Chains A and B, each alone.
Chain A
Amino acid sequence: MSTPPPTTREFMLGEGSGTGSGQTLQVGVGPAHPAMHGIIRIITEIDGEFIRKADVEIGYLHRAFEKDCEVGGYNNAIPYTDRLNYVSPLINNFAYASAVEKLLGIEVTERCKFIRTAMAEISRICDHLTCVGASAMELGAFTVFLYMIKAREFLWELVEDVTGARLTISYGRVGGVKADLPDGFAAKVSAAFKETRGVLDEVHRLLTGNRIFLDRMVGVGALSREETIGYAITGPLLRAVGVAYDVRRAHPHWAYDRVEFEIPTQKDGDNYARYLVRMAEMEQSMRIAEQALAMMPGGPVNVDFEGRPIDPAAYVDQGKQGKTEGLLLLPIRLSPNLQGQSREALQQVNAADKRVVLPPKETAYGSIEGLMNHFMLIMEGYGIRPPKGEAYFASEGANGELGFYVISDGSDRPYRVRCRPPCLPPVAALPRMIEGEQIADLIPTFGSVNMIGGELDR
């Protein structure tokens, strides 16, 4: 009696290599793999189709964010924060600026708060669209990806209108924002949201009841409530296990205490629950942004060190001879690059604190006081100087709690900036989500974690 011929699998991997034999095979996924959304390496030990053990290796995108923050002034870190979560950079900008404002003890103007709220929500929708679209694409639903990227394109056009850039926007400033909203912004937003709602509706019909999608998502990658909390996971993943924690509600900042919104939750904590939470959150974000734009007050955008709205025209020249006054009143044509930097617009969005916020360009170019003010903020050794101390400010990033912990030694440079990256905890918990499941399930689970290399590795 002859033994049966080896299967192809046994021929390739050796005798007895089928499932259940106890012989495992090490398979590295990434670092450069199309489904890894960036650069990350997952080392899996598989037994047949099943993952027995997994280890996640990160750091491929480490670029010394925290170290770099320590060598420049407080506003110099703003461009670096763009590159943390590069899908929703506005939230990082604002959260970092708010942490420094907390350290300074200043309050930004009402208009600025509403601008931050509206722009943060638009960014959050972009982030969720990217996450859901990319995960759906990896499950074969390429249509959904294209639809969602189309919707994101409409939103990025809004971001471009406001900030002048699509991705590296550097729009936040300590004490305010770079510039006021462009004219007719609310109308553009409502047009873009109409498109986005159409796309979400289509995606719901394509995916939410789709048999193939359900088979890949329901019950896959689940994490229990206890473990989710133990891993300090926040954001959509925490809300997918039924905990209605949202920094926007728990620690209201900007204008979140004045808008109405719901916190969508699910119970199961699997990939499908995360998908549903994200889909529902996009609608809530649109609600928030619409309310914020409808309630948008006039008035100053930047405030000063003591929290008073800045009126550069008022401080320039008081008690002086008044010779520069005529200069200040001269209409100055700004270069298109400085649009939104004119006095009127800048005052609306910035805190009235000349120790924190740069003066409007007319003032800087038109009066010696304005020029000195500008230099005092820009020159090395001057700049923004919070008192000695430390502050932790948390905001709701697209992936969860985005915290900035800033320590000041009283100089013009942050002594230490720590970013609490919202997607590090779920990536740390990733082995717990994928162990015991099939290797093909790694893809949707990893997609639902929404790893963003920029903030994970900093």
Chain B
Amino acid sequence: MTGEQILRRLRDRFGSAIVETHEFREDTTAVVDRGSLVDALRFCRDEPALDCDMLTDLTAADYLKYPGREDGPRFEVVYQLFSLVHNHRVRLKVRVDEDDAVVPTAVGLWPIANWLEREVWDMFGVRFEGHPDLRRLLMYEEFVGHPLRKDYPINRRQPLIGPKA
């Protein structure tokens, strides 16, 4: 399916829950309302015409300092989906505010979401509701803050925590 067809399918199915769509450099992107996120992901996975069986990547971006978007929702959680059968890709995004940085989990759809969501929580502080084990993935437990946030200074030092004596 071409990107345009994928987007049309998504718009037909979810209507106004698809907040925004765009195609840039042959990448197809749809921004989904948070309430419909899991349904949209499930639709992409189960609908035979889409059949995105692989969650290639799940990450986030902090738009705090992005020109023109300083006041909008701060975080975008990005789902890169891929279909082995049809060989097409689609990117779903969901926007969340800083004071309500919670996204429903996709662990029930793809097991890999477990680790990827842990990484997003670790790096951006976006919570995943319903995640079975939302621990930090890369940083250590005692680490304070979320390093990939734009207001986390790159040169901040934190004490290294050794093994408990």
Cα distance A268–B65 in the bound complex, in angstroms: 49
Looking across the interface, which residue of chain A has its beta carbon closest to that of B67? A409
In chain A, positions 185-238 with a C-beta closer than 8 Å to chain B are 227, 229-232
Of B89, B114, B148, B152, the contact of A392 (CB 8 Å cutoff) = B89
CB distance from B141 to the nearest CB of A (A): 11
- Known contacts being A231-B112, A403-B56, is A391 close to B138, with CB within 8 Å? no
The reply to whether the CB of B151 lies closer than 8 angstroms to some CB of chain A is: no
Of A232, A418, A457, the contact of B110 (CB 8 Å cutoff) = A232
**Contact between A403 and B57 (Cβ–Cβ < 8 Å)?**
yes
**Contact between B111 and A105 (Cβ–Cβ < 8 Å)?**
no
The reply to whether the CB of A390 lies closer than 8 angstroms to some CB of chain B is: yes
Interface 0/1 of A398-419, CB less than 8 Å to B: 0001010101011000011010
The reply to whether the CB of A428 lies closer than 8 angstroms to some CB of chain B is: yes
Interface 0/1 of A50-79, CB less than 8 Å to B: 000000001100101011101100000000
Cα distance A429–B111 in the bound complex, in angstroms: 8
A227 contacts across to B, CB distance below 8 A: 111
Of A62, A64, A409, A429, the contact of B154 (CB 8 Å cutoff) = A64
**Contact between B59 and A457 (Cβ–Cβ < 8 Å)?**
no
Interface 0/1 of B70-102, CB less than 8 Å to A: 000000001010001001010100000000000
**Contact between B24 and A232 (Cβ–Cβ < 8 Å)?**
no
- Known contacts being A59-B138, A105-B25, A392-B91, is A232 close to B147, with CB within 8 Å? no
Q: How many A-B residue pairs have CB under 8 A?
A: 95
Looking across the interface, which residue of chain B has its beta carbon closest to that of A99? B25
Of B55, B66, B136, B140, the contact of A232 (CB 8 Å cutoff) = B55
A59 contacts across to B, CB distance below 8 A: 136-140
A105 contacts across to B, CB distance below 8 A: 25
**Contact between B27 and A392 (Cβ–Cβ < 8 Å)?**
yes
**Contact between A243 and B84 (Cβ–Cβ < 8 Å)?**
yes
The reply to whether the CB of B14 lies closer than 8 angstroms to some CB of chain A is: no
The reply to whether the CB of B43 lies closer than 8 angstroms to some CB of chain A is: no
B24 contacts across to A, CB distance below 8 A: 389-391
Interface 0/1 of B131-150, CB less than 8 Å to A: 00000111110000001100
Of B53, B91, B147, the contact of A64 (CB 8 Å cutoff) = B147
CB distance from B115 to the nearest CB of A (A): 4
B59 contacts across to A, CB distance below 8 A: 405, 418, 420
A66 contacts across to B, CB distance below 8 A: 123, 148
Looking across the interface, which residue of chain B has its beta carbon closest to that of A403? B57
Looking across the interface, which residue of chain B has its beta carbon closest to that of A68? B154
Cα distance A403–B154 in the bound complex, in angstroms: 24
**Contact between B61 and A458 (Cβ–Cβ < 8 Å)?**
no
B49 contacts across to A, CB distance below 8 A: none
Of A243, A250, A429, the contact of B87 (CB 8 Å cutoff) = A250
A243 contacts across to B, CB distance below 8 A: 84
Interface 0/1 of A419-458, CB less than 8 Å to B: 0100011001100000000000000000000000000011
CB distance from B154 to the nearest CB of A (A): 6
| 14 A–B contacts, CB within 8 A, in A order | A59-B138, A62-B139, A66-B148, A103-B25, A232-B112, A392-B91, A401-B56, A403-B56, A416-B62, A420-B56, A420-B57, A425-B112, A428-B114, A457-B138
Instruction: Mark B residues whose CB is within 8 Å of A.
Output: 24-25, 27, 29, 53-57, 59, 61-62, 65-67, 78, 80, 84, 87, 89, 91, 110-112, 114-116, 123, 136-140, 147-148, 152, 154
